């Protein structure tokens, strides 16, 4: 018997339903988005179930009951699969926009802050920057020449001792710099004059760690070389620095001192910030605290760097950043700067 069009409609429908069922059985959903894609594809207003329902009209009148049953069963099958996918994807997936409660208070971000050493170092740099000094940086592993010999430190000087200096691999020519003067030596050797630089950076000394000493710390050294630079220039520069750093009321005094790389040499004290000069533990009841060493660059040092010491003069100074930070913030133990205790660090709110 030739196949009638209406019989074909029913057979096609059966075939299609079987095919879709296999496809739907295998469907998986890893997220709520996947579930929604499934819903739209099969159960949406333009979805497959709706479309296939429309094909009822292609079925012969006497088969309509059978077809109706088939399609209803198919619809239930799809709906059950949809529920199954919903539970599967429900618990362990990211919430969708509708799951988020926008009325809940936000969680605050914890913002980091600058390390106190960085705050003080930046402040020192910016003060000298206003006087025309630019920052020079160098290497932390240095050779004997740049760290010692060029600075007029004789071969038998105690500073070179193993006790004070960290040597790299016991090679007497390579060491961890004990001051940032080595950076200044390298800048002088470049021969571009006049020279006006400050050299901030970490330095190393073989010391037993205590509240007052550490085996690494930070220094800012400064150097100004030109024609006719005088000790008066040195004093005025450092006086300006101290006033900017600690305020207009602070008093200074210079005491004669000795360094192999400067002549004459001096140390500078400021009136005690804690007691204002009346005497306390910090100033050991003297009313004064030492904050830096300085002097006129020794002619031998200039010559060592190829600078004509008859034509040029210069001044240099060096200060410990930790020491200035301890005075500024009244910190009594140097170790706090390198322990990274968040309770300590959180107290410094400046972020610049
Ligand atoms: C201190 C003393 C000082 C210098 C550092 C210097 C550098 C060159 C030439 C001459 Cl390249 N001098 N630096 C001078 C005097 C003192 O530091 O007690 N620092 C914490």
CB 230 within 8 A of CB 312: no
- In the chain, DSSP assigns E strands to 134-135, 141-143, 174-176, 195-204, 216-226, 252-259, 262-271, 288-297, 313-320
**Spacing, Cα 257 to ligand 1 middle (Å):** 12
The DSSP output letter for 42 is I
Cα atoms found within 13 Å of the Cα of residue 69, Cβ hemisphere only: 4
Higher pLDDT, 88 or 340: 340
What separation, in Å, do the N-terminal and C-terminal C-alpha atoms of the chain show? 93
When pLDDT is cut at 50, 70 and 90, the band that residue 12 belongs to is confident
When pLDDT is cut at 50, 70 and 90, the band that residue 352 belongs to is low
pLDDT computed for residue 130 by the predictor: 97
When pLDDT is cut at 50, 70 and 90, the band that residue 273 belongs to is confident
When pLDDT is cut at 50, 70 and 90, the band that residue 157 belongs to is confident
When pLDDT is cut at 50, 70 and 90, the band that residue 3 belongs to is very low
pLDDT computed for residue 2 by the predictor: 42
The structure tokens 């010391």 sit at: 207
When pLDDT is cut at 50, 70 and 90, the band that residue 4 belongs to is very low
When pLDDT is cut at 50, 70 and 90, the band that residue 194 belongs to is very high
In the three-class reduction of DSSP (H, G, I as helix; E, B as strand; rest coil), residue 227 is classed as coil
Considering the chain, what is the average pLDDT of its residues? 90
Cα atoms found within 13 Å of the Cα of residue 152, Cβ hemisphere only: 15
Percent of the chain scored above 70 by pLDDT? 94
Q: Report the residue among 318, 320, 334 best suited for mutation to probe ligand 1: largest number of ligand atoms under 8 A from its CB.
A: 318
In this structure, which residue's CA is closest to atom 7 in ligand 1?
A: 181
Higher pLDDT, 292 or 350: 292
pLDDT tens-place string over residues 42-73: 999 999 999 999 888 888 888 889 999 999 99
Residue 348, CA distances (Å) to 116, 122, 328, 342 in order: 6, 14, 12, 10
Q: What is the mean pLDDT of residues 189-217?
A: 95
pTM, entire model: 0.71
pLDDT computed for residue 271 by the predictor: 93
Determine the atom of ligand 1 nearest the C-alpha atom of 318: 17
Tell whether the model's pLDDT for residue 269 goes beyond 50: yes
Rounded CA separation 177/149 (Å)? 13
**Spacing, Cα 348 to ligand 1 middle (Å):** 29
pLDDT tens-place string over residues 23-42: 999 998 888 888 999 999 99
The DSSP output letter for 108 is P
**Spacing, Cα 339 to ligand 1 middle (Å):** 28
């Amino acid at each position: 018997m030739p196949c009638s069009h209406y019989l074909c409609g029913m057979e096609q429908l059966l075939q299609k339903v079987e095919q879709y069922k296999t496809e739907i059985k295998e469907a998986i959903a890893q997220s709520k988005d996947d579930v929604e894609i499934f819903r739209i594809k099969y159960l949406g207003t333009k979805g497959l179930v709706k479309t296939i329902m429309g094909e009822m009209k292609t079925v012969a009148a006497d088969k309509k009951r059978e077809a109706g049953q088939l399609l209803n069963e198919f619809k239930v099958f799809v709906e059950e699969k949809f529920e199954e996918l919903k539970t599967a994807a429900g618990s362990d997936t990211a919430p969708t926009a509708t799951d988020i409660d926008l009325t809940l208070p936000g969680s605050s971000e914890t913002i980091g802050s600058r390390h106190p050493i960085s705050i003080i170092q930046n402040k020192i740099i910016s003060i000298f920057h206003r006087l025309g000094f630019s920052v020079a940086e160098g290497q932390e592993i240095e050779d004997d020449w740049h760290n010692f010999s060029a600075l007029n430190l004789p071969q038998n000087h105690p500073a070179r001792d193993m006790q004070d200096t960290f040597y790299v691999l016991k090679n007497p020519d390579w060491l961890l710099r004990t001051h940032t003067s080595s950076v200044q030596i390298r800048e002088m050797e470049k021969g571009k004059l006049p020279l006006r630089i400050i050299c901030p950076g970490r330095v190393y000394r073989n010391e037993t760690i205590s509240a007052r000493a550490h085996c690494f710390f930070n220094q800012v050294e400064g150097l100004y070389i030109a024609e006719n630079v005088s000790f008066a220039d040195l004093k005025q520069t450092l006086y300006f620095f101290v006033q900017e750093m600690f305020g207009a009321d602070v008093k200074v005094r210079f005491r004669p001192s000795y360094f192999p790389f400067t002549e004459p040499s001096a140390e500078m004290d400021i009136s005690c910030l804690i007691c204002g000069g009346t005497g306390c533990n910090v100033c050991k009841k003297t009313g004064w605290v030492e904050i830096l060493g300085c002097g006129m660059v020794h002619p031998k040092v200039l010559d060592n760097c190829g600078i004509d010491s008859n034509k040029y003069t210069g001044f240099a100074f060096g200060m410990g950043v930790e020491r200035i930070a301890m005075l500024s913030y009244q910190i009594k133990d140097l170790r706090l700067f390198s322990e990274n205790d968040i309770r300590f660090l959180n107290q410094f709110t400046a972020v610049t």
